[in-house]
A = this chain, B = another copy of it.
Amino acid sequence: MACLWLLVGLFLLGSAEAGKLLVIPSDGSHWLGMKPVVEELGRRGNQVVVVIPEASLSMGPSEKTTTLTYPVNYTKAELHMVLEGNLTEILSTDFSTEVSKFFVFFLQLKVLQNFIVRNAEGLLFNEDLMKKLQDCRFDAILTDPFEPVGVIASEYLSIPAIYMQVNLPCGVDSLASQCPSPPSYVPQRNTHFTDQMNIWQRCINLVRTLLQHMACRYMYAEADEIASRFLQRRASIVEIMNRATLWLMRFDFAFEFPRPLMPNMVMIGGMATKKPKPLSKELEEFVNGSGEHGFVVFTLGSMVSQLPEAKAREFFEAFRQIPQRVLWRYTGPVPENAPKNVKLMKWLPQNDLLGHPKVRAFVTHGGSHGIYEGICNGVPMVMLPLFGDQGDNAQRLVSRGVAESLTIYDVTSEKLLVALKKVINDKSYKEKMMKLSAIHRDRPIEPLDLAVFWTEFVMRHKGAEHLRPAAHDLNWIQYHSLDVIGFLLLILLTVIFVTVKSCMFCFRKCFKKSQKKKKA
């Protein structure tokens, strides 16, 4: 009965097949990726309950759904402060070597993890709320496993789990879905390798693949502890993730390197990209101001709107020397002699700008949303990856000849200028990007519809058992046929042993006979 009040206010559109869906999203850009699916599911008459913490970066109410919040022991301001501090550190740190990149990646994750753990505790140990969620008897849960809170909740509530994800740390998606990832051509996350590796890169990639299990154990150590405490048994996140019903993968092969998939993986990359809308009169006038030269869009994502002063100067200097106009999302200090062709804004209508016929280049940090908007609209890019999967993202586009990549720590106006001129004036960047765009947009069904369909499928059929590979019932030794290889080797050795012994026996017999004859 406790569920009833939860669902008050839901717009039941009368669909007889409507299901009850629990949504536990992840913060930041992750929520921006999930929100359109959640809203569409609500619009189609499903009872959708979204559970989020009281303090978050980007999460909030969504249309046609019920939003429930729970208190957490941190504030939005604290969240902003720590994450921005972390970003400032990245912007001024030299992480040019492979080792430093690796450690920066782990350090960033540790900072995030602190909040992830506190968020998980906030929901899971909120007995009232968990009891209510249990009473609701949801048909399924849609969650982003980047934060394990939804993963643990799905295990507690014993309902089919649908994971919507993009580039999980330590490649836990491959491990948990039992998806083969041959290290010879599937590059590990955060290596910045392509699918064409030289022998040295393949060595690193193999070692990284072998260490994947260990890395995941380290990454999820705190989450495992919370899961065990909450579920009151020894539990591990990877083991719970094994039971995922469906993986909604926010990637598309126009962008990702081709690699094996599992039947319960659905590709929905570029799902959140919308049709560009016309610009406001003021913006339209500005972008048309440089005539045929067009304009450049520059943003480093929702979390970075400032830069250290010296670094900002390099950008202003570079922009001064190009004939294009520049729209830059920037709220930092402006030098006195700032170039006239640059317009600074607090917020950019990014997708609408990228869809404008006069856009010539997109300077971006390489977050997955921006990338798909860029690909969809066919805009060549200059990439300045900051953290997480952005380095890999940049490498993917560079390898396709549609982008140039620079490192933020040592960027100069000269380097920036060379990269900008290259992607704007060398026609091959635009041509290749238009081909990529055509491929990306040419799909039998919209990725949003696909995500909605499969979520409803799981609700309708109470799971998708027919897509679950039997690999999950095998242990590591069995999966790799090591027991079978051992068994066959044993048989082989026994056969060899018996044959050799028999031969020796016969030989000795014959030998003795001939010796006796000789003696005689």
Q: Which A residues contact B (CB, under 8 angstroms)?
A: 179-180, 182-185, 195-196, 199, 202-203, 206-207, 253-254, 257-264, 435-436, 438-439, 442, 444-445, 449-450, 453-454, 457, 460-461, 466-471, 473-474, 478-481, 483-485, 487-488
With A439-B466, A444-B445, A444-B449 as known contacts, state yes or no: A488 contacts B206, CB within 8 Å. Answer: yes
| A438: B residues at CB distance < 8 A | 461
> How far is A485 from B210 in the complex, measured between Cα atoms in Å?
11
Besides A180-B260, A184-B479, A202-B478, 14 other CB < 8 A contacts?
A180-B180, A182-B480, A182-B481, A184-B474, A184-B480, A199-B484, A206-B485, A253-B263, A254-B466, A258-B467, A259-B263, A260-B261, A439-B466, A445-B445
- Contact between chains at B199 and A483 (CB < 8 Å): yes
Tell me the smallest distance from the CB of A232 to a CB of chain B, in Å.
Answer: 31
> How far is A257 from B195 in the complex, measured between Cα atoms in Å?
29
> How far is A287 from B196 in the complex, measured between Cα atoms in Å?
62
* 16 residue pairs A–B, Cβ–Cβ below 8 Å: A184-B481, A184-B484, A185-B474, A195-B470, A196-B470, A199-B484, A202-B478, A203-B484, A203-B488, A207-B488, A257-B470, A260-B262, A435-B461, A438-B461, A442-B460, A444-B449
| A185: B residues at CB distance < 8 A | 469-471, 473-474, 479
> How far is A263 from B251 in the complex, measured between Cα atoms in Å?
12
- Contact between chains at A473 and B183 (CB < 8 Å): no
Name the residue of chain B whose CB is nearest to the CB of A259. Answer: B469
| A445: B residues at CB distance < 8 A | 444-445
Which of B264, B449, B454, B488 is within 8 Å of A258, CB to CB? B264
Name the residue of chain B whose CB is nearest to the CB of A473. Answer: B196
Name the residue of chain B whose CB is nearest to the CB of A460. Answer: B442
| A466: B residues at CB distance < 8 A | 253-254, 258, 436, 439
- Contact between chains at A258 and B262 (CB < 8 Å): yes
- Contact between chains at B180 and A487 (CB < 8 Å): no
| A478: B residues at CB distance < 8 A | 184, 202
- Contact between chains at B264 and A263 (CB < 8 Å): no
Tell me the smallest distance from the CB of A481 to a CB of chain B, in Å.
Answer: 5
> How far is A34 from B260 in the complex, measured between Cα atoms in Å?
26
> How far is A439 from B260 in the complex, measured between Cα atoms in Å?
24
With A439-B466, A461-B438 as known contacts, state yes or no: A487 contacts B258, CB within 8 Å. Answer: no
- Contact between chains at A206 and B444 (CB < 8 Å): no
> How far is A261 from B467 in the complex, measured between Cα atoms in Å?
12
> How far is A480 from B185 in the complex, measured between Cα atoms in Å?
10
> How far is A253 from B469 in the complex, measured between Cα atoms in Å?
10
With A184-B481, A488-B203 as known contacts, state yes or no: A444 contacts B450, CB within 8 Å. Answer: yes
Tell me the smallest distance from the CB of A402 to a CB of chain B, in Å.
Answer: 12
Tell me the smallest distance from the CB of A206 to a CB of chain B, in Å.
Answer: 5
Name the residue of chain B whose CB is nearest to the CB of A464. Answer: B439
> How far is A202 from B478 in the complex, measured between Cα atoms in Å?
9
- Contact between chains at A471 and B184 (CB < 8 Å): yes
Tell me the smallest distance from the CB of A516 to a CB of chain B, in Å.
Answer: 45
- Contact between chains at B258 and A470 (CB < 8 Å): yes
| A202: B residues at CB distance < 8 A | 478, 481, 483-484
| A471: B residues at CB distance < 8 A | 182, 184-185
Tell me the smallest distance from the CB of A184 to a CB of chain B, in Å.
Answer: 5
Tell me the smallest distance from the CB of A328 to a CB of chain B, in Å.
Answer: 32
Tell me the smallest distance from the CB of A444 to a CB of chain B, in Å.
Answer: 4
| A180: B residues at CB distance < 8 A | 180, 182, 260
| A468: B residues at CB distance < 8 A | 258
Tell me the smallest distance from the CB of A418 to a CB of chain B, in Å.
Answer: 28
- Contact between chains at A481 and B183 (CB < 8 Å): yes
> How far is A240 from B320 in the complex, measured between Cα atoms in Å?
54
With A258-B264, A478-B184 as known contacts, state yes or no: A461 contacts B442, CB within 8 Å. Answer: yes
Which of B207, B261, B436, B487 is within 8 Å of A261, CB to CB? B261
| A473: B residues at CB distance < 8 A | 185, 196
- Contact between chains at A258 and B263 (CB < 8 Å): yes
